[in-house]
Amino acid sequence: MLTIILGILKIIGIIILFFIALLILLLSLVLFVPIRYFVKAEYNQQVVGEFNIHWLLSIISIKGNYKESFYYIVRVFGLKIVDSRKEKKVVSKNKKTKQHKKTNFENSLNKEREDEVMQDLQPEIASQHLEESKVEDSSSDKPKNFFLAKVWRKIKETIWNIRFKFKAICVRMKKFKEQIRYYLDILEDDNTKEALQLSKNQLLRILKHIKPQKLKIYIEYGDESVEQTARVMALWGMMYPIFLEHIIVIPFFEESKIYVKAYVKGRITLFVFVLVMIRIYFNKNIRVLLEQLKREV
Averaged pLDDT in 10-residue chunks for the chain of 297 residues: 85 95 94 95 93 92 92 92 77 58 61 57 52 48 62 82 85 89 90 93 94 92 88 88 85 88 95 94 91 77
Contact criterion met (CB below 8 Å) for 260 and 221:
no
Nearest to 222 by CA among 255, 247, 200: 255
pLDDT score at 104: 62
pLDDT score at 154: 82
Which residue type occupies 15?
I
pLDDT score at 84: 87
Residue 219: exposed, middle, or buried by beta-carbon count in 10 A (0-12, 13-18, 19+)? middle
pLDDT score at 57: 87
Cβ neighbours of residue 269 closer than 8 Å, sequence gap 6 or more: 31, 32, 33, 34, 35, 209
pLDDT score at 59: 92
pLDDT score at 140: 46
The length of the chain is 297
Rounded CA separation 139/128 (Å): 16
The residues that bridge with 247 in the sheet, in sequence order, are 217
The alpha helices in the chain, defined as continuous H runs, are 2-32, 84-139, 144-188, 190-210, 226-243, 270-281, 284-294
pLDDT score at 138: 47
